[in-house]
C-alpha cells in the first residue's frame, strides 16, 4: 500500500518514518523543496529521541522516500500546520493540500486528516472531495503526541479515529493498528475533532487555574508549590504547575478553534489569563532586579527539554525586560545558545533537566542574585 504523508514537520516526519518501518511504502511530501533536499541527505530540524534511527531504517529498507512532488498514492495523510491568524484558525495550508489531493484522487483512496482543526472541518473537506463523484474514504485521526516524546507516544497513546462514515473509520483504523500499541476507538469525524480540542483546552484551563493559584498565594506570601503539593495529596485533586505562561503551537491555539463558533466565557478568560502570565512574572522580576542592569536568561524554549521556541513565554518576558531598560543575554543549552555565565544576575525561565543538575550554592558563591521563575534550581 502506497502512503503519502503530506507535510513532513514535527508530526508528519515521525509519522512517515513509523509507517515505513511498519511495512508501508511511504513518501514524505512537502512543498518546501529545501526541506526535502535536506531530508534526502538525512538532515532535518525535528529533534526527537529515536527519530534519526527510525528514518535511517525506513530509508535503508527502501520503504521511505522524500519528494517535493506529491505522488499518486492509495492513502494521503495530511499533517499540515493549522495556526491561528488574528485569533482565528488559519486553514489555508490544509485546504491547499486538499486541492492537491483532489487532483490525484482515485476511486477507493483513503484520506486521513491528522492536523488539529475546528469542528466541522473534515465534513467541509468531504463536500469538496464529493465533487469527484466516486467512492473514497475520509477520516480525522488527530495527533495527540507530546513534543519531546513523539515516537514513544505515537505507539503508546490511545488513538481516536473519526470517519465521515463507518467504513472510512474502519479502514483508517487498519493502518494505525500496524504501529499503535494501545486502544484505537472509532467514531464520527466531528466528535474526533472536538475530542482533540477538548484535551488541549482542558490543559489550558487547568494551567490557568494553577497560574491563578500562584497569584493568590503570592498575595499571602504562601509557597504555591508547597500548597499545590499538599492539595494534590487529596485523591480527587490534580492541580497542574503554575509557570511563566503557556507556549507552543498547540495549547495557546486549539482552545480558540473550539470557540470560533461559540462564545465560551471560561475558555476566553483562560486564554487572557495565560497570555498575561509573562507580564505578571516580568513585574516580579523587575522588582527583584531593581538595581541590576545586565541579566542572563536561562532557558528560552516554550517548555523544558524541547528545542522549540514557538510562542515561547520566555521570549515575551525578555521583550518586556528590555523595554524596561534591562539588557538581557540568553543561555539555552537545549538549543545550543549562549554561555552559562551570570552577568549582574540570573533569571531561570525554563525548567530544563540540565539546570536541575546545577549546584545552586556554586551560583550563590558568585554573590549574585538568582530568580528561579520555574522552581527548577
The residues of the shown chain that bind ligand SAJ, judged by CB under 6 A, are 116, 143-147, 199-200, 203, 207, 240-241, 243, 246-248, 250-251, 302-303
Confirm if 371 and 347 have CB atoms less than 8 A apart. yes
CB 142 to ligand SAJ: min, Å: 8
Which value, to the nearest 10 degrees, does the dihedral of the CA atoms of residues 81, 84, 85, 89 take? Answer: 90
Q: Which residue lies nearer to ligand SAJ by CB, 199 or 344?
A: 199
Beta carbon nearer to ligand SAJ, 30 or 254: 254
Residue 362 CB, nearest approach to ligand SAJ (Å): 26
DSSP letters spanning 19-63: HHTTT-EEEEE-S-HHHHHHHHTT--S---TTHHHHHHHHHHTT-
CB of 158 to ligand SAJ, least distance (A): 11
Nearer to ligand SAJ among residue 14 and residue 248 (C-beta): 248
Question: Shortest approach of ligand SAJ to residue 171 CB, angstroms?
Answer: 23
Catalytic hit among 35, 65, 196, 326: 196
- Helix 189-220 with 121-129: angle, nearest 10 deg: 150
14 φ, ψ to 5°? -60, -35
- Which residue, 128, 110, 127, is CA-closest to 170? 110
Q: How far is the CB of 9 from ligand SAJ (least distance, A)?
A: 11
Given the complex with ligand SAJ, which of 31 and 210 has the nearer CB atom? 210
Q: Which C-beta is closer to ligand SAJ: that of 166 or that of 260?
A: 260
Q: What is the DSSP string of 253-314?
A: THHHHHTTTS--HHHHHHHHHHHHHHHHHHHHHHHHTSS--EEEEE--SSSTT----TT-HH
Contact 351, 313 (CB under 8 A): no
What are the residues whose beta carbons fall under 8 Å from the beta carbon of 222, sequence distance 6 or more?
none
DSSP 8-state symbol, 343 = B
250 annotated active-site? yes
Measured from the CB atom, is 310 or 368 closer to ligand SAJ?
310
Render the burial of 99-118: b for 16+ CB within 10 Å, e for the rest: ebbeeebeeebbbbbbbbbb
Structure-block grid coordinates of residue 132 = 469527484
Q: What is the DSSP string of 64-76?
A: EEEESSPPP-SEE
Q: How far is the CB of 71 from ligand SAJ (least distance, A)?
A: 27
Q: Show which residues are catalytic.
A: 196, 250
Amino acid at each position: 500500500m502506497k502512503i503519502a504523508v503530506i507535510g513532513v514537520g514535527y508530526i508528519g516526519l515521525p509519522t512517515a518514518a513509523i509507517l515505513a518501518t511498519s511495512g508501508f511504502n511511504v513518501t514524505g511530501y512537502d512543498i518546501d523543496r529545501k526541506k526535502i533536499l535536506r531530508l534526502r541527505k538525512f538532515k532535518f530540524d525535528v529533534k526527537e529521541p529515536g527519530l534519526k534511527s527510525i528514518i535511517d531504517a525506513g530509508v535503508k529498507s527502501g520503504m521511505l522516500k522524500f519528494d517535493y512532488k506529491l505522488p499518486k498514492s492509495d492513502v494521503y495523510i495530511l499533517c499540515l500546520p493549522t495556526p491561528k491568524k488574528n485569533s482565528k484558525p488559519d486553514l489555508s495550508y490544509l485546504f491547499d493540500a486538499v486541492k492537491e489531493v483532489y487532483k490525484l484522487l482515485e476511486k477507493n483512496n483513503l484520506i486521513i486528516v491528522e492536523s488539529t482543526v475546528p469542528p466541522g472541518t473534515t465534513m467541509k473537506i468531504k463536500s469538496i472531495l464529493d465533487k469527484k463523484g466516486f467512492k473514497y474514504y475520509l477520516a480525522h485521526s488527530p495527533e495527540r503526541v507530546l513534543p519531546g516524546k513523539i515516537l514513544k507516544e505515537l505507539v503508546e497513546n490511545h488513538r481516536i479515529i473519526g470517519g465521515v462514515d463507518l467504513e472510512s473509520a474502519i479502514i483508517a483504523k487498519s493502518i494505525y493498528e500496524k504501529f499503535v500499541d494501545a486502544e484505537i476507538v472509532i467514531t464520527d469525524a466531528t466528535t474526533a475533532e472536538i475530542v482533540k480540542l477538548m484535551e488541549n483546552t482542558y490543559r489550558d484551563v487547568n494551567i490557568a487555574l494553577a497560574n491563578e493559584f500562584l497569584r493568590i498565594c503570592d498575595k499571602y506570601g504562601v509557597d504555591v508549590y508547597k500548597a499545590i503539593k499538599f492539595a494534590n495529596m487529596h485523591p480527587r485533586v490534580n492541580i497542574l504547575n503554575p509557570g511563566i505562561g503557556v507556549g507552543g503551537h498547540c495549547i495557546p491555539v486549539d482552545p480558540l478553534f473550539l470557540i470560533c463558533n461559540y462564545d465560551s466565557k471560561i475558555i476566553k478568560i483562560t486564554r487572557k489569563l495565560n497570555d498575561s502570565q509573562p507580564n505578571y512574572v516580568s513585574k516580579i522580576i523587575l522588582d527583584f532586579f531593581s538595581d541590576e542592569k545586565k541579566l542572563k536568561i536561562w532557558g528560552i524554549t516554550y517548555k523544558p527539554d524541547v528545542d522549540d521556541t514557538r510562542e515561547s513565554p520566555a521570549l515575551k518576558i525578555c521583550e518586556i525586560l528590555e523595554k524596561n531598560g534591562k539588557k538581557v543575554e540568553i543561555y539555552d543549552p537545549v538549543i545550543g545558545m549562549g554561555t552559562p555565565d551570570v552577568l549582574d544576575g540570573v533569571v531561570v525561565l525554563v525548567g530544563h533537566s540540565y539546570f536541575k543538575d546545577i549546584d545552586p550554592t556554586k551560583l550563590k558563591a558568585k554573590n549574585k542574585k538568582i530568580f528561579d521563575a520555574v522552581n527548577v534550581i
